[in-house]
Every structure is written in C-alpha cells, then in structure tokens.
Amino acid sequence: MYAYPEDLKEFAHEMGITLVGINSNSGQALAYLAQSDMRGGKVWINRKSAEDFFTEQGRSSFDAIQLFNKPNGSKYTLKLTDAPKRGLYSLKYPYEIKANDISKRINVDKNVLDNGSKEDQIAEVKKYWSEKVKDEENKCELLRKYIHDPGIDKLLKDTMSRVNWIYENILNQPSDNWNIGHLDASKGGESDNLYYQPPIQARYTDRYVFNRWFERIKVKD
C-alpha cells in the first residue's frame, strides 16, 4: 500500500484542499502517481499498467484508468504532465491544481447538495435498488422450480445476472466511489441534473440519460 509523500500533503494543506482518502482506490492511484520516481513524466501510466496496478495491490476497479486520468478525483483534480501521446498519464510536478475548475466546482457542490447530503442521496438510491433486487431474487426462486425447462434456464441465468449486476455496481459500492455527475451529460449544472452517482454511471453517460435512481431511461440520438 502506498502513502502520500510529505510534499503532497504539504501542498494540499497550503492550497486548502482535501486529498482523497488514502485507503480508497483513488487515493492509492494518486499516491502511486505522486511517488518521486513516478511523477513529472518519469513513468507513464496507460490503461494496462493502471489495471495491473490494482491487480498487484489486490484491489478491483471498474475503470482503473479513470482514477489516474483525474488524480485526486473530480473535486480538486491535480494537473497531469503533458504526455507525448494520448492515453498516457503522469502527475505534474511541482504539483498544480486545475485552478479553472475550482470556481465551477464550488457552484456544482452547492447545487448537488440541494438534493440532500452525499450520504442521503446514496441511501435513497440504495434503498430503491434494494427493493428492486428483492423482486429479482424472488423471481429467481420461482424460476428454480422449473429449472429443467431450457427456456426457463436461460431466463433464470439472465435474472441472476441482473441480481449480480445490482449488487456489484450499486449496493456494494462504498460511498468513497460515488462522485458528482450529471443525469444528462448534455445539460448544465443545475440542481435537478446533479446527483452523487455510482461508478457504473460513467460507463454509459455518453449514450444514455438517467433518472435520479440511475436507471438508464433513454438512448441518446
């Protein structure tokens, strides 16, 4: 497990920003990028090395490269070094914050909290999906009574897959992995478009819009 270098902690203190939790996936990605033998373009992270990093740490991450693409998360993102080609990431050193993002983020933070605290929003989403998964699990129990029917067997497997998806991507996701995002990426930062979202949402944001419980509700044109 990696630790934040002292100069990074001092930088955060001087700038009045918070570093993401060191025990989170985002924290470990940032700590790794900030090591003296990594930062400033000494070592470049690509998608494979990002995935290998979490595997070697005994961790799992849905989209590992995103944690290196936005070091310190989306609130106070630290700048990356200009890369020789796309898809390569190294932390800029001396450290810098994406200063232009700060004023936008203050407004976004205020607006998203119009919908309740982070904890309240996550609890509401998980409550919704807890009820939904119960229905799917009850359906599985019913289908198991007819398991010898080939058509039923496929339906059971599909239903079990949905149950596993809900647990993996919603119910078992810790709050550290939820970030502010738009229900419709094509719209602005108004309160009714900003919610804390589970990591899975980022995978579909360019093709779908969502309701506040993060069901995909429409394919974008």
**DSSP one-letter string for 54-89:** HHHTT---TTHHHHHHSTTTTTSPBPBPPPSSTT-B
Considering only CA atoms, give the Rg of the chain. Answer: 20
∠ CA 158-175-24, rounded to 5°: 105
Per-residue pLDDT, 49: 95
For the ranges 38-47, 71-80, 94-103, 200-209, the lowest mean pLDDT is seen at 94-103
pLDDT in tens, 63-87: 889 899 989 887 788 999 999 998 9
How high is the mean pLDDT of the chain?
86
Would you say residue 23 has pLDDT above 70?
Answer: yes
* Higher-scoring residue by pLDDT: 139, 98: 139
> Which of the 8 DSSP states describes residue 42?
T
Per-residue pLDDT, 168: 92
Element (DSSP H or E) covering residue 209? strand 208-210
Per-residue pLDDT, 100: 52
Q: Answer yes or no: are the C-beta atoms of 201 and 210 closer than 8 Å.
A: yes
Give the model's confidence band at 31: pLDDT under 50 very low, under 70 low, under 90 confident, else very high. very high
C-alpha dihedral, 63 to 65 to 68 to 73, nearest 10°: -30
Would you say residue 7 has pLDDT above 80?
Answer: yes
**Whole-structure pTM value:** 0.50
Per-residue pLDDT, 25: 92
Q: How far is Cα 117 from Cα 66, in angstroms, rounded to an integer?
A: 24
Tokens of 14: 């001087």
Give the model's confidence band at 164: pLDDT under 50 very low, under 70 low, under 90 confident, else very high. very high
Per-residue pLDDT, 120: 92
* Other beta carbons within 10 Å of 177: 18
Per-residue pLDDT, 73: 84
Q: Which amino acid is it at 158?
A: D
pLDDT in tens, 114-150: 888 889 999 999 999 999 999 988 888 888 777 677 7
Give the model's confidence band at 95: pLDDT under 50 very low, under 70 low, under 90 confident, else very high. very high
